[in-house]
Structure 1
Amino acid sequence: MHDRRGLKHRAAAESRVVPIPPELVGILRRHVDRFGVADDSRLFRSGKSNVVAASTYSRMWKAARGLALAPVQVASPLAGRPYDLRHAVVSLWLKSGVPAPDVAARAGHSVDVLLKVYAKCIDGQEATVNQRIQAALGGLGE
């Protein structure tokens, strides 16, 4: 559950930049100011500074869903697991037209893996793509 390996397909000490919105930066800074960090720099820890148990994360996630979602959404699989948010944001970025190499870098994927996993997110946008191509060509062929 709490392995200490590095990032997949990267050297042990390698890291990657994960851009986050300024609002989240503020939330995290206030959290660190109030609670500090664990000796190993984890942001979240148990009352005894241990790793937070998976069952605790599950309980908190369930409670947060109950507060954030409408009852019909809580009864659905929407955001059933925290990982679903990652999938949702990567899908959103792709559907919003963020270039695949940028999305891949932010998500920690290769472009190849990104497109294999998320190709369905960019499928069905033929009209939008055609408009972009036409606009880039200066409206030729109108």
Structure 2
Amino acid sequence: MKKIYLFNLVFCCLFLLFPLRSSAFLGFDYGITGSVSTAYDDNVTFVKEDKKSDNVTNLRIGLGAKQEGKTDTFAIGGSFTQHLFAGHSSFDNNSQNIDIDYKKELSRYDRFSVANKFVHAEDPESFEDDFGRASGRYSY
């Protein structure tokens, strides 16, 4: 358990000491993101009987690219998240997501937009992941 907390401390310090900045190449703006979070979960197995509690550490790294023109925008991004359990290492898992978005302005009043979101996770991270879009048909 001490190894995980030491790893979190080193990981956070690296991001503070060496900030990653976006750069431009071939008309794309590239970006790199990262985050570390730790949370206590009192029921990691989601059961009523024989509950198990643990500290869960999430390490996330992401890459993105965006290109903007006068009338169109293309963006692609993805991230990889590693979920580490301090007391139950057999529950360690990872998740990935990819987002693709394209927008085109056809005229002053007409616009075209296409988006695709892919998520691969061992368990849902939110209510919307579990049951789809729950906010209604007018949410964006």
Q: TM-score if structure 1 supplies the norm length? A: 0.21
Greater share of residues in helix: 1
